[in-house]
Amino acid sequence: MSAMKAATDNAKELQKKLLLLYNKKRQAAITAEICEISAAANAIEAADKKGAAGPGLGVMDNENSVAEDFMKELDSGDVPDTWNAIKQLLAEDAALEGTKEQRQRAEEEMQQMRQQETEERLRAEQRRAKLEEEMELEEEREEFTDVDFAESLMLLGGISFVMTLFYLVNDEDPDMRFYSWRVISATLSIFSAVLIFSGINKLIHFYLLSHGTSPSFKLLFAFIPMLIYFFLLQLGTAYHSAALTAAPAVMEEKELEETWGKLERRTRCWATILAHLTGFGSIHCGTVLQHMPWLRDSPGASFVAAPAMFLLAAVLNWCARRVRERVTSKTYQRLPDSTGSHDHDVSAWAGEWQRWTYDLWTENVIDAEHDSAALAVSFLLVQSCRFAFSGQLADEMTPGQKKSQRTIEEFAGFSLVFAVLSIVLVVAGRRIFRGAAPTPGTLKSFLRRCLALLQLSSAMAFAWTLLFSARWEITRFSGYVGPPTSLTSRISLALAISFCAALIIKMLDFVIDLESTEEDADEALGNIISSLGILVGFSWEQSFDGGVEVVALRTYRPLWTEVALACAVVALILPAWRRHILEKVIVEEKKRAHKERRSRELR
């Protein structure tokens, strides 16, 4: 009896624990309790069998009925603590255990996500801080434009360029000083001539050629200005040399020296300017000829323009010499025979003066004719070479399309061919024409002038080749300095060429000073150094032309404003060039001539 009661109480207690385990959802504890319930049920059955024949049957029956009721309840499934409920609880608890594992994984994932979010937040803060710094730098950079970059380039390069020139013209070597002043003089002359020519050419194109014309008409309007420039060269040189005017009153030696110096500088100045103006007019005429339909399709055909301009220059120079001889022949017939320095006799003084001025006129006009013809021939020759190397025939101003590095290197290396050719022609000229200068008007004199023209043309071709190679190289870096026609690109080119020219002058002067080089090679290298003025002058003219164009475009009359500004710049440059720079060149040339004359006498 007591055993069955104890078992019943134990079963009820286990029921309470089962409900508690249900709430706590612990699978292991539920499984253990189920085993205890099974043992309790077995104990109840055993107690029921023992108490069937003993005393206290009523109590036994009562407790047995409780056990039976409990078993019925377990079997019926009406209460949550039946076997089915136990099975359901076991299944739910197993699911809850799986959920717990999922929760643990979810918590781990959440922790990882929080950690990732923290890292992302840190990275975002770092990116934001970096972005703020970049924005601040960008705001600072936005304060500077391409114009500021060009101005900075001009300031830095300009002061460096000026100081480089200062060192060159004050070098200890007298030859170095002479070559430096000579290149500076040629640079200013080329610069002024191209600026004037560009303005006049734009006026002609705007008023006469802007509505479209035939190629022959363009060639005609390129040929006529060239003839006008050549006529101005002859007339202007004669006028400024005073060869066609009467002799002034008798002067004292000091006064005569001062007057003659001014006359010499003035004649040299206008002869050089008009020679370069005629040369660029010839270049334009030859370029139009190269673009004619029967020449522009083949590099070989385009080479016809260079010898054509050479023959034209030879014919014009011959005609000019004949005119000079006819103009001065009567003057020479009237001149008295006067040798030595002038005296106070008016007739002798007038004759001496006329001889001086005629020699001054002839010397300067012949040099000017050589310069103008050599400019045209050398440019057209290099232009045809550009066509052969690149497959594109450009005009005299545009740099052309972007070229490969190999093409640029090959074309720059081709400049050495012209340098060697210049040396060969100088040596050949010295071997062929030994002794005194031939009589003007003879075949030997004509051949000597042609050879001198070829010597100068080959030296200038060397300079033109380097110039166009540099322009192609600048075109390759258009992403940094802008398009080739931009002002920044032009200034960059001018500065780079100026420094390269200074280095070439220094290097060639070192070669000239070597004792192993002969006078022939020294003269040829001197011609090459003088031709470097084309490099510097033409590149700076392009820069100033771009600057003038930018200013003119903001005015009411851009074309006339551009011409007026060009004339103003030239008017500012010419007096300083004539009075100071050209005077230095003339003085240095006289010193060199005196030195060479003394060295010949000592031999």
Render pLDDT for 447-497 as a digit per residue (tens, 0 to 9): 888 888 888 899 899 989 988 888 888 777 665 566 667 777 787 888 888
Mean pLDDT computed over 95-118: 72
Only one residue has tokens 């851009």, namely 558
Provide the pLDDT confidence category of residue 359 given band limits of 50, 70 and 90. Answer: confident
Question: pLDDT band at residue 144, thresholds of 50, 70 and 90?
Answer: low
CA triple 153-273-205, angle to 5 deg: 75
Contact 496, 470 (CB under 8 A): yes
**Residue-level pLDDT at 80:** 46
Assess whether pLDDT exceeds 80 at residue 186: yes
Q: Is the pLDDT of residue 299 over 70?
A: yes
User: pLDDT value at position 343?
Assistant: 46
CB 200 within 8 A of CB 560: no
Residue of higher predicted confidence among 564 and 138? 564
pLDDT band at residue 338 under the 50/70/90 scheme: very low
pLDDT band at 63 (very low <50, low <70, confident <90, very high): very low
What pLDDT sits at residue 55?
44
Average pLDDT over residues 250-262: 79
- pLDDT tens-digit map of 527-558: 888 888 888 888 887 888 787 888 888 888 88
What is the model's pLDDT at position 341? 47
The pLDDT of residue 60:
44
Burial tier of 460 (Cβ tally within 10 Å: 0-12, 13-18, 19+): buried
In angstroms, how far is the first alpha carbon of the chain from the final one? Answer: 160
Q: Which is nearest to 375 in space by CA: 270, 471, 282, 469?
A: 282
Structural tokens at position 319 = 């005609």
pLDDT of 226 strictly over 60: yes
In the prediction, which pLDDT does 113 show? 78
Pairwise pLDDT comparison (6 vs 111), residue with the higher score: 111
For residues 544 and 91, the model is more confident at: 544
The runs of H, that is alpha helices, within 143-214 are 146-169, 174-204
Whether the predicted pLDDT of 189 surpasses 70: yes
Mean pLDDT of 509-516: 75
Whether pLDDT at 66 is above 50: no
d(CA 242, CA 259): 12
Taken in order 537, 542, 543, 545, is the CA torsion positive or negative? positive
Highest mean pLDDT (candidates 120-129, 332-341, 515-524): 120-129
Mean pLDDT to the nearest integer, 72-99: 55
* pLDDT class of 377 with cuts at 50, 70, 90: very high
How far is it, in rounded angstroms, from Cα 289 to Cα 277? 18
Which pLDDT value is given to residue 526? 79
By mean pLDDT, which of 91-100, 469-478, 562-571, 590-599 is the weakest? 91-100
pLDDT at residue number 195: 87
Q: Is the pLDDT at 102 greater than 70, yes or no?
A: no
Q: What is the mean pLDDT of residues 407-422?
A: 85
Nearest-angstrom CA–CA distance, 70 and 64: 10
pLDDT of residue 401: 58
In this predicted structure, what is the pLDDT of residue 376? 92
Question: Which is more confident, 110 or 380?
Answer: 380
Q: Has residue 70 got a pLDDT over 60?
A: no
Whole-number pLDDT of residue 132: 74
Instruction: Check pLDDT > 70 for residue 209.
Output: yes
Q: What is the pLDDT of residue 99?
A: 64
Q: How confident is the model at residue 233, as a pLDDT?
A: 93
Alpha helices in 25-82 (DSSP H): 27-50, 57-76
Distance set, CA 120 to CA 115, 241, 362 (Å): 8, 86, 87
Q: Which pLDDT band, with edges at 50, 70 and 90, does 408 fall under?
A: confident
pLDDT tier for residue 141 given thresholds of 50, 70 and 90? low
Q: Nearest 10 degrees: CA dihedral of 544, 548, 553, 554?
A: 120
Residue 519 has pLDDT above 60, yes or no: yes
**What mean pLDDT is predicted for residues 345-367?**
80
Rounded distance, CA 90 to CA 84, Å?
A: 10
pLDDT higher than threshold 80 for residue 46: no
Task: Calculate the average pLDDT of the chain.
Answer: 76
With pLDDT > 70 as the criterion, what percentage of the chain qualifies? 70
List, in order, residues 6 or more apart from 459 with CB less than 8 Å away.
374, 378, 418, 419, 422, 524, 527, 528, 530, 531
% of the chain exceeding 90 in pLDDT: 11
Q: What are phi and psi for residue 395, nearest 5 degrees? A: -90, -170
Sequence length of the chain is 603
Comparing 13 with 81, the larger pLDDT belongs to 13
Mean pLDDT of 396-410: 68
Residue 179 or residue 8, greater confidence: 179
pLDDT attached to residue 252: 74
More confident residue, 497 or 66: 497
